[in-house]
Amino acid sequence: MAAIGKDEARRALAARLDTDVSALAQLAGDYDAETRRRVAANPHAPVAALEDLAADPEPNVRVNVAGNASTPPSLLERLAADPVEQVRERVAHHEAAPVHVLGMLAEDADEGVRRVIASREDAPIQALRLLAADSEEWIRGFAAMNPVMPPDALQALADDEEEDVSRAALRNPGIPASVLEALAGEANENTRWDVAGNANAPAGVLEALARDEVAPIRAHVAANPAASAELLHALAADGEEAVRCSVVANPAVPAELLAALAADASMDVRKRVAEAGGVRAQDVQALSRDASAVVRASVADRADADGDTLSSLSGDKARSVRRHVAGNESTSPCDLGRLARDDDAYVRVRVAANPSAGADALAVLAGDDDKGVRRAVAGNAAAPAAALDALASDGDVYIRRGVAGNPGASQRALALLAADSDGDVRAAALANESFDMTRLLDAAVIGDAAAGRAAEGSAASSPADEIRKFHELFQIGAITQQEFEEAKTRLLASL
C-alpha cells in the first residue's frame, strides 16, 4: 500500500486554508514550483512570503501573487511593472490595486490589461477618458459600457464609427437622456432597440417606442424597468408572444399583471410567469396544475413553492417534473425519500445530489446500480459517513474523487483515498480540510524538500517498512485489525 508522497503532501498543505502560517512561510521556499504556486494563491500566506514569491522566476507563481486577495497595495504596485502581461492583468483585476496603479495600467502595451481597466468602475476618470479614445475598437466598447464613464465621453462614443461601440454607449444608463431622445426616431432598428432598453430613456420616448412596428423593439420596452405600470399593462395585451414574455421578465411588473399572464394562451408566457419572482402563492398553485409539463416543471424549480405543491408534483406523471422536484432543496425529506426509489435514474441522481435528502435515502442511493447516482451521493456533503466509507472503495474513479473532496468523509475513507492509485483522488483527499493535519505535516517533511525528493528515488521499501505503513493505517482506523494482521503475515513470509 503506497504511503503519502511528500510532494503531494506539501502541495496539499500549500493550498489548504487551515495550514499554519509558519508552514506556509517554509513552503514558499519549496523547490517545487507547483507548491510555491499554491502558496502564492493562499489568502493566509504571510506578506513576507508573498513578497518573496513576487520575485519568483516562475511566471505562474507571480500571477497567483498578483491575484491573491491578501497581497498588499505596495506589492501590487511592484507587480504592475512585471514583464509578463498575465501578471499585470491580475493586478488590473485586483480590488486593492491603488488608483494611481490603475491609471498607469490604462496605458499598458497589452490590450487585455487595458480592457480590464476600461471595465473598472473605480478607475480614475482621466484613465477612462483615455480608454474611450483607445485605438482598439473592443477596448472602446468596454469603456462605452462602463457606467461611470462621463456623459460627454459617452456622447462621443455614441457617435463612434464602429457600430458595436456606439451601440454599447447607447445601452449605458449614464448616457444623457437628450441623446436617447434624439436617436429614438432613427431609421436604424438597432439604434431604436438600444434606446428602448435604456433605463435612462424618458417616459415619452418609451411610450413612442412601445408602439414601434418592430416587435423586438416593443419587447425591449416591455423589459425596461423604467416602463410605467400603465405601459406594461398595454404591452401585456400585445399580439406578439415575445413582448408579453418581456413584460413578465420586467422586475417592476405588478403582481396582478403576472396573475393575468399566468392564464395566457401561450405556454411560453405561462412558463415565464412560473419562473418569475413576485408571483402570488395562489397563482403558483394554479400553475402547478397547468396542462403543460414544461410549466409544471418550472413551478417545481421554485425555491418558494410550498410543501403541498411540491409534494403533489413529486408524483407527477412527467419525469421532467419529478426531476425538478427532486433537485429542489425545498422538497421535504419524505418526498425525496419516495423519489429516491423512482424508476427514472436522473430523478434519483437529482435526489442524490440534494443536500435536503435524508440520511436513509442517501444510504440507499449509495448502493444504486447507476454510477451517476453514486457519483452524486459521493459529492453530497449530507451523505452519511458509512455511505461515503463504502463509496471510497468504488471501482469508479469519479466516485472516489467525489468522496475524497467531500467534507463529510471520515478519516478512514480519506486515509484510503490518500493512497489511491489515481493522482487526482489522492490530491483531493489531501486537500480535504477534514484530512488529519498532523499526518499531512508528517508526510510533507517541510524544510527538507530536497532530501525528501531524493529519498523518493531510493530503493523500494522493505517488508518492515510496509508493515509500519499498514500499522499506521490501522492506528487511524483506515483498515481493520484483521486486515493489518493478514498484511503483516504476508509480508513476514516474504522475508
Closest of 272, 268, 267, 280 to residue 250, by C-alpha = 272
Burial zone of 249 (CB within 10 Å; 0-12 exposed, 13-18 middle, 19+ buried): middle
| Residue 380 near residue 406, CB atoms below 8 Å | yes
Distances from the Cα of 362 to the Cα of 116, 188, 316, 372, 405, angstroms: 45, 58, 22, 13, 17
* Residue 74: strand, helix, or coil: helix
Other beta carbons less than 10 A from residue 371's beta carbon: 15
Predicted pLDDT at 439: 84
Burial zone of 232 (CB within 10 Å; 0-12 exposed, 13-18 middle, 19+ buried): buried
**Residue where the block lists cell 452519511:** 384
Residues 6+ apart with CB under 8 A from 173: 147, 198, 199, 200
The whole-angstrom separation of Cα 487 and Cα 201 is 78
Cell of 13: 498543505
Predicted pLDDT at 444: 81
The whole-angstrom separation of Cα 381 and Cα 432 is 12
The whole-angstrom separation of Cα 253 and Cα 271 is 16
Going along 330-378, which residue ranges are E strands? none
Query: Whole-model pTM?
Result: 0.84
Cell of 313: 408534483
The whole-angstrom separation of Cα 201 and Cα 190 is 15
Predicted pLDDT at 287: 98
Residues 6+ apart with CB under 8 A from 254: 229, 232
Residues 6+ apart with CB under 8 A from 157: 132, 140, 143, 144, 149, 165, 166, 168, 169
Predicted pLDDT at 455: 43
| Residue 46 near residue 489, CB atoms below 8 Å | no
The whole-angstrom separation of Cα 364 and Cα 370 is 12
Cell of 134: 483607445
| Residue 51 near residue 76, CB atoms below 8 Å | no
Predicted pLDDT at 450: 38
- Amino acid identity, residue 485? E
Closest of 345, 78, 46, 194 to residue 206, by C-alpha = 194
Q: How many residues does the chain have?
A: 495
* Residue 461: strand, helix, or coil: coil
- As averages over each run of 10 residues, the pLDDT of the chain (495 residues) reads 76 94 95 96 97 96 98 98 97 98 98 98 98 97 98 96 96 96 94 97 97 98 97 98 98 96 98 96 97 98 96 98 98 98 98 97 98 98 97 97 97 94 94 90 68 42 68 63 76 70
| Residue 205 near residue 227, CB atoms below 8 Å | no
Predicted pLDDT at 101: 98
Question: What DSSP designation does 19 have?
Answer: S
Predicted pLDDT at 451: 40
Phi, psi of 287 (to 5 degrees): -70, -25
Other beta carbons less than 10 A from residue 101's beta carbon: 22
Domain coordinates in residue numbering, the chain: 183-266
Cell of 83: 514583464
